[in-house]
Structure 1
Amino acid sequence: MASILGGITSSHIPAVGNAIAEGKTQEPYWKRFFDGYEPAKAWLDAVKPDVLIVVYNDHGLNFFLDKVPTFALGCADVYENADEGWGLKPVAPFTGDAEFSWHLAESLVEQEFDICTCQEMKVDHGFVNPIRALYGNREEGSGDSWPIKTIPLAVNTVQHPVPSAARCLKLGQALGKAIESYPEDLRVVILGTGGMSHQLQGERAGLINVDFDLECMERIISEPEWMTQFSNAEIMAQAGTEGIETIMWLVMRGALADDAKLIHKHYHVPISNTGAGVLVLENERLSY
Structure 2
Amino acid sequence: MARITAGVATSHVPAIGAAFDHGRTGEADWQPIFAGYEWVKAWEAQEKPDVVILCYNDHASAMMLDVVPTFALGCAEEYQPADEGWGARPVPTVYGHVELAAHIAEQLVLDEFDITIMNHMDVDHGCTVPLSLMFGQVEQWPCKVIPLAVNVTQFPTPSGNRCWMLGEAIAHAVESFPEDLNVQIWGTGGMSHQLQGPRAGLINPEFDNAFLDKLIDRTDELRQITRLEYLRESGTEGIELIMWLIMRAALGEQVEQLQRFYHVPASNTAVGHVVLRPVASGVTAQAAE
Structure 2 residues not aligned, in runs of 5+? none
Extract structure 1 runs of 4+ deviating beyond 4 A: none
Structure 1 position 197 matched with structure 2 position 192: yes
Structure 1 residues not aligned, in runs of 5+? 139-143
**In the alignment, which residue of structure 1 is the partner of 2:263?**
268
Indicate conservation of the 8 Å contact 1:5/1:187, yes or no: yes
Corresponding letter in the other structure for 1:45: A
Q: Which moved more, 1:203-212 or 1:83-92?
A: 83-92
Q: Which moved more, 1:16-25 or 1:179-188?
A: 16-25
Following TM superposition, by how much is the alpha carbon of 1:203 offset from its aligned partner in structure 2, in angstroms?
Answer: 0.7
Following TM superposition, by how much is the alpha carbon of 1:126 offset from its aligned partner in structure 2, in angstroms?
Answer: 0.3
**In the alignment, which residue of structure 1 is the partner of 2:105?**
105
Q: Deviations over 1:246-274 (max 9, x none)?
A: 11000000100211110000000010111
Indicate conservation of the 8 Å contact 2:70/2:151, yes or no: yes
Which whole-Å CA distance do the structure 2 matches of 1:188 and 1:115 have between them?
A: 20
Q: Deviations over 1:96-122 (max 9, x none)?
A: 111110000001111111100011111
Corresponding letter in the other structure for 2:44: L
Corresponding letter in the other structure for 2:260: K
**In the alignment, which residue of structure 2 is the partner of 1:53?**
53
Following TM superposition, by how much is the alpha carbon of 1:281 offset from its aligned partner in structure 2, in angstroms?
Answer: 0.3
3-state SS, counterpart of residue 151 of structure 1: strand
Identity %: 50
- TM value normalised by structure 2: 0.95
Following TM superposition, by how much is the alpha carbon of 1:228 offset from its aligned partner in structure 2, in angstroms?
Answer: 1.9
Residue pairs, 1:1-288, within 5 angstroms:
1-85=1-85, 89-138=89-138, 144-283=139-278, 284-286=281-283
3-state SS, counterpart of residue 272 of structure 2: strand
Following TM superposition, by how much is the alpha carbon of 1:87 offset from its aligned partner in structure 2, in angstroms?
Answer: 5.2
RMSD: 1.4
Q: Which moved more, 1:84-93 or 1:206-215?
A: 84-93
3-state SS, counterpart of residue 185 of structure 1: coil
User: What is the number of residues matched between the two proteins?
Assistant: 283
Corresponding letter in the other structure for 1:174: A
Which whole-Å CA distance do the structure 1 matches of 2:141 and 2:251 have between them?
A: 25
Which whole-Å CA distance do the structure 2 matches of 1:261 and 1:216 have between them?
A: 16
Following TM superposition, by how much is the alpha carbon of 1:88 offset from its aligned partner in structure 2, in angstroms?
Answer: 5.2
Q: Which moved more, 1:19-28 or 1:72-81?
A: 19-28
Following TM superposition, by how much is the alpha carbon of 1:285 offset from its aligned partner in structure 2, in angstroms?
Answer: 4.2
Indicate conservation of the 8 Å contact 1:79/1:120, yes or no: yes
Following TM superposition, by how much is the alpha carbon of 1:90 offset from its aligned partner in structure 2, in angstroms?
Answer: 3.8
